Amino acid sequence: MKKVFLLSVLCVACAGQADRGMQAPVDYVNPLMGTLSNYAFSTGNTYPAIARPWGMNFWTPQTGRMGDGWQYSYTAQKIRGFKQTHQPSPWINDYGQFSLMPVVGKPEFDENKRASWFSHKGETATPYYYKVYLAEHDVVAEMTPTDRAALFRFTFPENDRSFVVVDAFDGGSYIRIIPEENKIVGYTVRHSGGVPANFRNYFVVQFDRPFASTATFANDVLSERALESGDSTTGEGIRQGHAGAVVGFSTCRGEVVQARVASSFISWEQAGQNLKELGDDSFDALVAKGRQAWNEVLGKITVEGGTLDQYRTFYSCLYRATLFPRKLYEITADGRIVHYSPYNGKVLPGYLYTDTGFWDTFRSLFPLLNLVYPSVNKEIQEGLLNAYRESGFFPEWASPGHRNCMIGNNSASVLVDAYLKGVRVDDVETLYKGLLHGTEAVHPSVLSTGRRGHEYYNRLGYVPYDVGINENAARTLEYAYNDWCIYRMAQALQRPQEEIDRFAARALNYRHVFDPSTNLMRGRNADGSFQSPFSPFKWGDAFTEGNSWHYTWSVFHDPQGLIDLMGGRETFLRMLDSVFVVPPVFDESYYRHVIHEIREMTVMNMGNYAHGNQPIQHMIYLYNYAGQPWKAQYWLREVMNRLYSPAPDGYCGDEDNGQTSAWYVFSALGFYPVCPATDQYVVGAPLFKKATVRLENGRTIRINAPDNSDARKYIRSLSLNGYTSTRNYLTHDELTVGLDIDIRMSDKPNTERGIKETDAPYSFSKER
C-alpha cells in the first residue's frame, strides 16, 4: 500500500518525466548547493535549509559558532547543534534562534566542547529531511520539519549518560525544565536587528520519554540533578544572558529518543498550538508529508531533455526560489490568522511574510511568484500592506522588520507588478497611499526604507553626488524605475492626470545621470556638473555593489531611451559587447578592500560581467531591444553552463533570497521579466528540450525545443500556438491563458529573426 501511495504522488508531481526514471523533482535538489562560501568569497552564501516551502521556521546543522552568519560551511568538520534559523543571508544574520544537540558522556553545554566530527559521507540532506552521523558521540541525528514545528530522532549508543542539549543562545534567554511532562520550554531573544523591545521567540521541546537527569546552565554555571520517578517541576526556570538545559537518558544501543519542537513569536501557548502541526504522525510519516509538500511546489514545473546536472541545478534553484520570503504569521486554536509585528511589537490579525530584500528580489523572484505561485504572493502582498499599516512604510529589506540595508524604493515594483498581473490586495487605496508616501519620505531610523535623498531627487531630478548621500547615481536610476511603476499604477487606477504626468516625467530621470562623453552612467553634482575624476571601474561610490559598467543598464523600463542616449543601436550594442570584452579590472578604493562581489567577478573570465551580484543580471537580455537576440542566446547559455552547478560551489556569488536562483529558473525556461510591471517577458533561449509549467488557473505553458543541445543554442524559429512569431517577447496574458511555444534550435545564429523595431520588447520612450 505504501508503494502504491508513493507512485501516485510521483505521477501527480512528475508527469512527463519518464525519461528520467520517474524521479520526483525534490530528488534532484541539493540543499548544500552554495554552501562552500565564506566572508571573502561567496559561491552562494547559502546553508542547508531543512524546511517546508515558505515555512516560518527553517532548521540547519550548525557548524559555525553562535552568532556566526556563516552558520553552515561545507568545509567545516564539526557540528555544534541543530539550529532553528530565520537567517536570509549571512550579511543580515539571524534572529529567533536556538538549537538542540545530542551528546554522550556528560552534560556538556559549551558549543565547542559538545561539537562532534562529521563527514559529508555520513550526511543526507534533502529539503524535507536531514540525517547525519555524529562520530564524537556515536549518535545518528535526524530531523524533519513542518511550517512551524519539527520532529527530531536521535539514535543513541548503549549508555547511561546520553543527553540532549537545548541551547537558547545568548543575548537574553530563558529555559525551564518540566520533568513530569518530559518537556522544556524557553525563549530566545538573540537577534541582529529589525525587532522591537519585546521581541521573543518562545519554544517548546516535548520528549517521548522521561528524563533520567536534568541540568540547567546560567551562562557558564551548571546546576545538575538526578531525578526520581514523579519529580515535579524543576524550579521557576533560568533567565540569564545565556540560558540552556541538558536532559539525560539511559539508553540501549540503537535506542531512539524523539523530540517534538515548535516555536512562536507570540507566546508559549501559541508555540503549543504550533506543535500540533506534527499531529500524531510518526517520524517517517512526517518525512513523507514533507516530501509530498515539496513535490507539489516543485512539480509545478517539469523539465525534460537535459543532463542530470542540469536537472539538479534547475530544481535546486527552484527550491531556493520557494523558500523566501518566509511566513511570519501563525494560526490560532480557533483558526485565525495572526502575526507578531516586528514593526510595533503587537499581535495583530492578518498575514505577514518576511526575510527578503527587494533590491535583490524585485528583479525575478517576485515575477516568478506572480506567474507560478500567485496564491502565495497574494498572502505576501496582504502582508506588505500590514507592514505599511504597522510602521508607516512598505519594507525594502525586512528581517524580520525594517533593516538598514541596500537602496531603492523597489517595494513599488513588487506591489505594482503583482497588482497589474492580477494578484490584487483587498485594499488598493491603502496600497496606493503607501506607494506615494514612499516617494517623499524616509524612515526616521532606517535610512534604506522610503527614499533617502528624495528632497533632491524630486526637485533636481537626481540625487546629487556631492551632498553626502552615498550611492547616489544608483539611487537615481532605481527611483526613476520605481516612479515608472507608480506611473503604471496611477494609470490603472485612473488617478488625476497631473499625478500620472508627474510620475511619467520622473520616470525619465535616469537621463540626468547619463554622461554622453562616456556613454555611461555617472554621479552628478548639485550644480549639474558630473563627478570628477570618474572611473567606470570604481565599485561603490556613486553605485551600489557595482560600477558604472554594471549600473548603466538599470533602465529596466526604457531600454530604447538608453539606446537613444547612446546615439543608436550600433553604439548601444558595442557598449553591451564591451562588458564582456573589458578585462575584469576594478577600483576598490571606496571600500578600501576588495569586497567579495569584486573577487567573484574577477575569477569568472567574463570580462566585467558580474553575474554574482544582482544589478547586471538582466543586462544580457537587452540585446533583444537592439536587434541582436542571438547574442543574448549565446551569453545566456554561457552563464547557465559556466556559472551554475548543483555543487557546494554552485553559485557565482550571493544567491540572495531566491533572486539568483529565479534568474536561472526563468532563463532555463527561455524567457525573463526584464521589467516587472510590464506585461512582458523577454525571450532568451531554453536550456531543455521540453518544459511544462502548470499554472494555478489550470492552464499550461509548454516550451518545446526538441533539437536543443549544447551545440544548438540559437533560436532558428519560434511559434506560439502554431503561429510563427519574430517577437523578442511574450506577454503575461499569452502565458496565463495557456501557451504552446515551439522552438527550432540551430548551431548557428539566425541574424534575420527578431531584428525589426517592432520585434523589440516594451520601452517607455516608445509610449510617449
The confidence band for 223, taking pLDDT boundaries of 50, 70 and 90, is: confident
At residue 558, does pLDDT exceed 80? Answer: yes
Per-position b or e across 569-604, b if 16+ CB within 10 A of its CB: beebbebbeebbeeebebeeeeeeeebbbbbbbeeb
- The burial of 236, by beta-carbon neighbours within 10 Å (0-12 exposed, 13-18 middle, 19 or more buried), is given as exposed
Strand partners, 176: 185
Query: How many alpha carbons fall within 13 Å on the CB side of residue 224?
Result: 15
The confidence band for 435, taking pLDDT boundaries of 50, 70 and 90, is: very high
The predicted structure's pLDDT at residue 227? 53
CATH for the stretch 336-440: 1.20.1050.60
Strand partners, 303: 691
At residue 13, does pLDDT exceed 50? Answer: no
Q: State mean pLDDT over 356-383.
A: 98
Write the pLDDT tens digit of every residue in 514-537. 999 999 999 999 999 999 999 999
Contacts of 525 (CB under 8 A, 6+ apart): 464, 465, 466, 531
Write the pLDDT tens digit of every residue in 129-181. 999 999 999 999 999 999 999 999 999 998 888 999 999 999 999 999 999 99
> CA 700 from chain center: how many Å?
25
Q: How far apart are the first and last CA of the chain?
A: 64
The predicted structure's pLDDT at residue 574? 98
Q: Give the SS3 label for residue 595.
A: coil
Given strand 301-304, what is the order of strands in its sheet? 301-304, 690-694, 700-704, 739-746, 714-720, 723-724
At residue 3, does pLDDT exceed 60? Answer: no
Give the closest residue to 370 by CA, choosing from 317, 326, 414. Answer: 414
The predicted structure's pLDDT at residue 1? 36
Query: How many alpha carbons fall within 13 Å on the CB side of residue 674?
Result: 32
The predicted structure's pLDDT at residue 403? 97
At residue 231, does pLDDT exceed 70? Answer: no
At residue 486, does pLDDT exceed 50? Answer: yes
Reading the block at residue 750, the C-alpha cell is: 539566425
Q: State mean pLDDT over 459-465.
A: 98
Q: State mean pLDDT over 241-259.
A: 92
Write the pLDDT tens digit of every residue in 90-113. 999 999 999 999 999 988 899 999
> CA 617 from chain center: how many Å?
15
Amino acid 227 reads: L
The confidence band for 229, taking pLDDT boundaries of 50, 70 and 90, is: very low
pTM for the full model?
Answer: 0.95
The predicted structure's pLDDT at residue 226? 57
Give me the residue label for grid cell 507588478. 417
Q: Give the SS3 label for residue 684.
A: coil
Neighbouring C-beta atoms of residue 656, cutoff 10 Å: 28
More confident residue, 240 or 362: 362
The confidence band for 235, taking pLDDT boundaries of 50, 70 and 90, is: low
| CA distances (Å), origin 481, targets 28, 339, 657 | 37, 32, 22
Give me the residue label for grid cell 547615481. 473
The predicted structure's pLDDT at residue 254? 84
Write the pLDDT tens digit of every residue in 169-221. 999 999 999 999 999 999 999 999 999 999 999 999 999 999 999 999 988 78
| CA distances (Å), origin 550, targets 367, 584, 593, 608, 750 | 22, 12, 19, 8, 28
More confident residue, 560 or 229: 560
Q: State mean pLDDT over 557-584.
A: 97
Contacts of 180 (CB under 8 A, 6+ apart): 230, 231, 232, 233
List every span in the chain annotated with CATH 1.20.1050.60: 336-440
Q: To the nearest whole percent, how much of the chain has pLDDT over 70?
A: 95
The predicted structure's pLDDT at residue 233? 44
The confidence band for 248, taking pLDDT boundaries of 50, 70 and 90, is: very high
Write the pLDDT tens digit of every residue in 384-416. 999 999 999 999 999 999 999 999 999 999 999
Q: State mean pLDDT over 65-82.
A: 97
CA distance 211 to 655: 43
For the chain, give the mean pLDDT. 95
CATH for the stretch 47-297: 2.70.98.10
Extended beta strands in 601-648, E state: none
The predicted structure's pLDDT at residue 21? 54
At residue 11, does pLDDT exceed 60? Answer: no
Q: To the nearest whole percent, how much of the chain has pLDDT over 90?
A: 92
Q: What is the DSSP letter of 311?
A: H
Q: Give the SS3 label for residue 425.
A: coil
Write the pLDDT tens digit of every residue in 627-677. 999 999 999 999 999 999 999 999 999 999 999 999 999 999 999 999 999
Write the pLDDT tens digit of every residue in 352-365. 999 999 999 999 99
Q: What is the DSSP letter of 96?
A: S
The predicted structure's pLDDT at residue 487? 98
CB 178 within 8 A of CB 185: yes
CB 549 within 8 A of CB 555: no
Q: State mean pLDDT over 494-515.
A: 98
The confidence band for 18, taking pLDDT boundaries of 50, 70 and 90, is: very low
The confidence band for 2, taking pLDDT boundaries of 50, 70 and 90, is: very low
